[in-house]
Chain A
């Protein structure tokens, strides 16, 4: 589903990713862990096509297609979803209008019939219920004045509503209390499916207690220095990232 080969990404003059390779198959859940500044968020931004993140070398293929020529909008319409670490606040735009525009833009691009207002309301209410969010949430302005936890819930609500083929979740667990973490994890687990891949980017292994990955990769200084199964998370928790970094050197 996703094949990354020797990816090099710079922001301005600064090289951040330095030869990252990764393969993700449908149905798999991969966790990308690593210390601060290792390039985790850069990877997610590059996959989603942020204009400030320049790919200087390497390849990214999604469902056999080269991602590079696609704009961020086209990537989203092709079924890639990125949950932001810091979702943007947009006052003056109701959450429900944004959600409907987003869901319908993706549906249309994928040859599905866009929802009308009534059908969308029924559809999105079900998703709200599944996530345990109050319906009032829909009628507030997009992320405006939302607490950190509410913003993350809104990201997961979008994940449920957009039904992407590839979901990339950047630090979705940061700033969440234990109850919120459980609800959000249930939301993510409900999205596990044979035709969908999930990439979790996280600093701590806490989220991985709730969403069990098939593979764990450790990112340091712009490339993957260690891959393994879920047991790797526990070793990291005990020994810290420095253990791997010293091994590497």
Chain B
């Protein structure tokens, strides 16, 4: 058994892995990649520091040490795996007052057969700074491969960070990704996740709102087809008063694909005037498609406004008939209704510099 991953796999009784079994990973003989040149950087904005994490540990110990491993909250085997075995990654530092809107894109490159990439990124956005970070995973190869990535993001007060993650992987791509976020006073974090394809994808987003006035928006679209499996786990912790969070995840599941959504909002004692929303809506396009959705609220404070909900349904028959009665064929009618279902999520993307490119990619995928 040469696959180094095996000893780290979460226990099959672990509730967080109930619907996403790791057994599939044992069927492949994954090996750590020998090259560590995994990430292509597109457009480093002026004033932003971007360098390999290993170099940053030496050159910028003062900026990395207080945060590395301090944003992450390790809870399962993949976290330990990443901590012990990460091969490369970037340190991204936005100094105080530096505000850039043009995107900084990290393109994660193609993997070889049975190759495993283990990455760790650390992002620090200093006071009153702004960053628009995009991570893309678009392996064209259909060979089996595994990516594990942990991204730690620290937002100091008044900082604004947008993190967009696009996965459009090959049919045998396995991916376990974590985004951990800590937010200081009045900071603003947006997460946009677009998971268009991939054999087996697990994504966790964990946000801690730890000073008043912090706000986060989490926007997700997932479109698994064939026998793909896509799992989103989110956790937003309201640790102090007067923070707001909003989650809107939507899935369109076709063929024999399966999706999982588990969202947790935790409002700690004393976190009054919290406003938290969490929605997960799903459309099943075939009778074999499956979604396991579980929104959770844990509230330990008074005077809070929290709302959550999950829905599962099909495309609206009346709307399909309306379009058909106008001579529009079934394929385009489906596309229209999917566009309508995702309209809010797509409108969040329009506000971004990268929104248009990602929306185009989404539309192409739906063709």
| B343 closest partner in A (C-beta) | A92
Is B324 in contact with A71, judged by CB distance below 8 angstroms?
yes
What is the minimal beta-carbon distance from B176 to any residue of chain A, in angstroms? 32
Is B328 in contact with A73, judged by CB distance below 8 angstroms?
yes
Within 8 Å by CB of A84, from B322, B336, B343, lies: B322
Is A90 in contact with B327, judged by CB distance below 8 angstroms?
no
Mark the stretch among A28-36, A46-54, A188-196, A199-207 that contacts chain B. Answer: A46-54
Is A105 in contact with B342, judged by CB distance below 8 angstroms?
no
Interface extent on B, as a size class? Answer: 20 to 34
Task: Tell me if A88 is interfacial: C-beta within 8 Å of chain B.
Answer: yes
Within 8 Å by CB of A101, from B317, B321, B328, lies: B328
B residues in contact with A101, CB < 8 Å: 328, 332
What is the minimal beta-carbon distance from B340 to any residue of chain A, in angstroms? 4
Given A52-B317, A92-B346, are A76 and B325 also a contact pair (CB < 8 Å)?
Answer: yes
Whole-angstrom CA separation of A140 from B161 in the bound complex: 31
Task: Tell me if A41 is interfacial: C-beta within 8 Å of chain B.
Answer: no
Is A88 in contact with B316, judged by CB distance below 8 angstroms?
yes
B residues in contact with A48, CB < 8 Å: 321, 325
Interface set, chain A 87-111, CB cutoff 8 A to B: 87-88, 90-93, 98, 101-102, 105-106, 109
What is the minimal beta-carbon distance from B250 to any residue of chain A, in angstroms? 12
| B339 closest partner in A (C-beta) | A92
Whole-angstrom CA separation of A48 from B323 in the bound complex: 12
Is B342 in contact with A72, judged by CB distance below 8 angstroms?
no
Is B336 in contact with A73, judged by CB distance below 8 angstroms?
no
Given A50-B321, A52-B317, A98-B336, are A91 and B327 also a contact pair (CB < 8 Å)?
Answer: no
Task: Tell me if B329 is interfacial: C-beta within 8 Å of chain A.
Answer: yes
Within 8 Å by CB of B328, from A81, A82, A88, A105, lies: A105
Whole-angstrom CA separation of A77 from B329 in the bound complex: 10
B residues in contact with A84, CB < 8 Å: 322, 325
Whole-angstrom CA separation of A158 from B317 in the bound complex: 21
Whole-angstrom CA separation of A49 from B321 in the bound complex: 9
A residues in contact with B13, CB < 8 Å: none
Task: Tell me if A138 is interfacial: C-beta within 8 Å of chain B.
Answer: no
Task: Tell me if A219 is interfacial: C-beta within 8 Å of chain B.
Answer: no
Within 8 Å by CB of B327, from A50, A92, A109, A141, lies: A109
| B332 closest partner in A (C-beta) | A101
Task: Tell me if B326 is interfacial: C-beta within 8 Å of chain A.
Answer: yes
| B338 closest partner in A (C-beta) | A92
Task: Tell me if B357 is interfacial: C-beta within 8 Å of chain A.
Answer: no
| B335 closest partner in A (C-beta) | A93
Whole-angstrom CA separation of A77 from B325 in the bound complex: 9
A residues in contact with B336, CB < 8 Å: 90, 92-93, 98
Interface set, chain B 306-336, CB cutoff 8 A to A: 316-319, 321-330, 332, 336
A residues in contact with B48, CB < 8 Å: none
Is B342 in contact with A92, judged by CB distance below 8 angstroms?
yes
Task: Tell me if A9 is interfacial: C-beta within 8 Å of chain B.
Answer: no
Whole-angstrom CA separation of A81 from B330 in the bound complex: 17
Contact with B along A28-69 (1 / 0, CB 8 A): 000000000000000000001111100000000000000000
Whole-angstrom CA separation of A75 from B340 in the bound complex: 25
Task: Tell me if A162 is interfacial: C-beta within 8 Å of chain B.
Answer: yes
Q: Which of A49, A88, A109 has the most CB of B within 10 A?
A: A88
Query: Which 5 pairs from chain A and chain B are nearest by CB?
Result: A92-B343, A72-B324, A76-B327, A102-B326, A105-B327
Q: List 24 A-B contacts (CB under 8 A).
A: A48-B321, A49-B325, A51-B317, A76-B326, A76-B327, A76-B328, A82-B325, A84-B325, A88-B316, A88-B319, A88-B322, A90-B319, A90-B336, A92-B342, A92-B343, A92-B346, A93-B336, A98-B323, A98-B328, A98-B336, A105-B326, A105-B327, A105-B328, A158-B326
